[in-house]
A and B are shown apart, each in its own frame.
Chain A
Amino acid sequence: MLKYAFRRILGMIPMLFLISIVVFTLAKLMPGDSFSGEIDPTKTNPQYIAEMREKLGYNDPLPQQYFRWIGKFVEGDFGKSTRYKIKVSEVISEKLPNTLLLGFSSIIITYILAFFMGLYSGRKPYTVADNLIGGLNYLGLSIPSFIAGVFAIFLFSFTLGWFPSNGSIDIGMTEGTFEYWLSRLHHVFLPAVVLGLLSTASYTQFLRNDIIENSRKDFVRTARAKGTTEKKIYNVHILRNSIIPLITFLGFDLVAIISGAIITETIFTYPGLGQLFLQSVGTRDYPVLMTLTMLFSFLTLIGNLLADILYGVVDPRIRLD
């Protein structure tokens, strides 16, 4: 098991190397460079621009540029954002906590909702409430996250006024106070629910079907025959068996959150990495764009790796070799 995990982690290195080549090539293929976006050619001496291009190494052969970039990248020097004029690492670390909060809240809300809905549906299948939950699940699986977001803002922010529709914090909050964190949670709740909608639906569905399947197994019959209370059978015997396979979804959740964050953060104008990414595409902020793409790819790799390893942990019959 450990050996397998270790080998998979080593196997990530060539993958990251290949992805870095793709990212670099794509960034070079994008129209214009940071000069064409930021400098007004009528005001600046064209000779100066040409000089600066030469000085910054934009005219060097591509492989040389690549190795210079990747060399610095590995050392943790991601370059300087051409838009914010500060280090990329600073730009990213400023937005990272917001996205982390969004991701974590989304996973936690997903777990809580799916746990209760799945447990109820599994215990009382084919009842009215189960069908209702099933219908909601279908909707959750079918409605695209950006439409869910738009509807959520319309309903909960504008019509009912329960949650704020944008931003990550109220203006004029002092950092560290209780109100500050409350305000942040208040802001993150709606985007987090929308972000976790798809996984909530699939978790619930899975839990329900697994509980129904387990309740027909021999060990449940034995437990009933022994006189174990129905409550204990469901909450202890069946739940233990049904809840474990759920952790295999964690890896996929990580992958889904990355793509989901781009969409959700845009709708809720939530200042996180996804929004930063779209901005950097729009403003041709290549250092930020390349770093974020590498970061997202890295997280996707981790997510897929996690999913594979967790499968092995949960089901020892899956041989990992």
Chain B
Amino acid sequence: MEILTEKDTNISAAPPKKSSSQWAIARKKFLKNKLALTSLIFLIFVAIISFLAPYITTADVTRINIGEMSLEPSSQHWLGTDKAGRDVFTRLLYGGRISLLVGMSCTLFVILLGTLIGAVAGYFGGTVDSLLMRFTDFILNFPFLVFVIVLNAILFGKVNGLWVLIGVISLLSWGGIARIVRSKILAEKENEYIIAAVSIGCSPAKIIVKHLLPNVLSTIIVQATITFASMIVIESALSFLGFGVPQEIPSWGNMLDSAIEPDVLQFKLWIWMPPAILITITILSINFIGEGLKDAFNPKSRR
């Protein structure tokens, strides 16, 4: 191709330009969106320093140090120490590790489960669809927080706490994604290329995975960012209430639970302010990324 155009340079000025793919357009649009890009960089930065926590700080996160209780920020303890004498900065890093891990794992499970159920229901339709959707309605009609708290109280202590939490949250929150994926698949499967795929004998699994899912992927990605933000909120809210990540593991929500004591809330700002601000900025930046992606995938938006 290139050789040909080189030869033809004297005849035609430029070779026919290949129009960019949907993904290339989206990437270009996203990279132009400064707010979303800054948010993404911030999020990656938080994730990296959180996951490298053991290399960045040397302080012990779990050891209770009665001699250094509730110290104000100083050169030794950048953000002071909490009521048990643990370094707040160290706990913030380790807490980020847990909060982001819980958020990501829940998002992954929710998206996988929701996409699977939504895609199967949407593609097959009929009885399969109505059965699966009744089940989805059933899950969606549970008051989410109430059941997560009850389930955590039951399972607590029997299995490793963190994975119980991730499992419980994921099992109760895939309903919304399933509904969205189903409606997208329902619209998409009416296209001729699907009929063509069926007529040449593609198996349903292949049609769903190779033909349908790539076309609804942009929706799924946008939903995944929204889910990620809400999962971090849910984890920290549950930990704050004492029904989330076990007390001995630091997480952003766990770090905040001492803010319920008036003394800490009023006079020891360094204990609760850093995790509170960090959670908010993290959620904010995830939301900005989500908005940016939504905009980037939207063919109508011109930026």
> In this complex, what residue of A is CB-closest to B157?
A31
The CA-CA distance from A29 to B287 in the complex, in Å, is 38
> In this complex, what residue of A is CB-closest to B152?
A281
What would 12 A/B residue contacts be, using CB atoms closer than 8 Å? A26-B147, A29-B154, A30-B154, A142-B283, A142-B284, A259-B146, A262-B149, A263-B237, A281-B149, A297-B141, A300-B143, A304-B140
Chain A stretch 247-269: residues in CB contact (< 8 A) with chain B = 255, 258-259, 262-263, 266-267
Q: A144-B237, A147-B279 are in contact. Are A300 and B138 (CB under 8 A)?
A: no
A138 within 8 A of B: yes
A220 within 8 A of B: no
Contacts of A158 in B (CB 8 A): 262, 265-266
Given contacts A139-B280, A141-B287, A293-B147, 10 further A-B contacts (CB under 8 A): A146-B256, A147-B280, A150-B259, A150-B272, A153-B265, A259-B143, A262-B146, A263-B145, A297-B146, A304-B140
Interface 1/0 per residue, A117-157 and B, CB below 8 Å: 00000000000000000000011011111110011011000
Instruction: Determine whether the beta carbon of A15 is less than 8 Å from that of B143.
Output: no
B144 within 8 A of A: yes
Contacts of A289 in B (CB 8 A): 150
Q: A259-B145, A278-B149, A296-B146 are in contact. Are A143 and B280 (CB under 8 A)?
A: yes
Please report the total number of B residues contacting A with Cβ < 8 Å.
Answer: 37
Contacts between the two chains (Cβ within 8 Å), count = 106
Q: State the main secondary structure of chain A at its contact with B.
A: helix
Contacts of A270 in B (CB 8 A): none
Please report the total number of A residues contacting B with Cβ < 8 Å.
Answer: 42
Contacts of A259 in B (CB 8 A): 143-146
Chain B stretch 213-244: residues in CB contact (< 8 A) with chain A = 229, 233, 236-237, 240-241, 243
> In this complex, what residue of B is CB-closest to A27?
B150
Contacts of A141 in B (CB 8 A): 287
Tell me the B residues contacting A by CB distance below 8 Å. Answer: 137-138, 140-147, 149-151, 153-154, 157, 229, 233, 236-237, 240-241, 243, 256, 259-260, 262, 265-266, 269, 272, 276, 279-280, 283-284, 287
Contacts of A258 in B (CB 8 A): 143, 145-146
Contacts of A139 in B (CB 8 A): 280, 284
Interchain residue pairs A-B with the least CB separation, the first 4 = A259-B145, A142-B284, A296-B143, A144-B233
A310 within 8 A of B: no
A301 within 8 A of B: yes
Contacts of A154 in B (CB 8 A): 265-266, 269
Q: A142-B284, A143-B280, A281-B153 are in contact. Are A301 and B241 (CB under 8 A)?
A: no
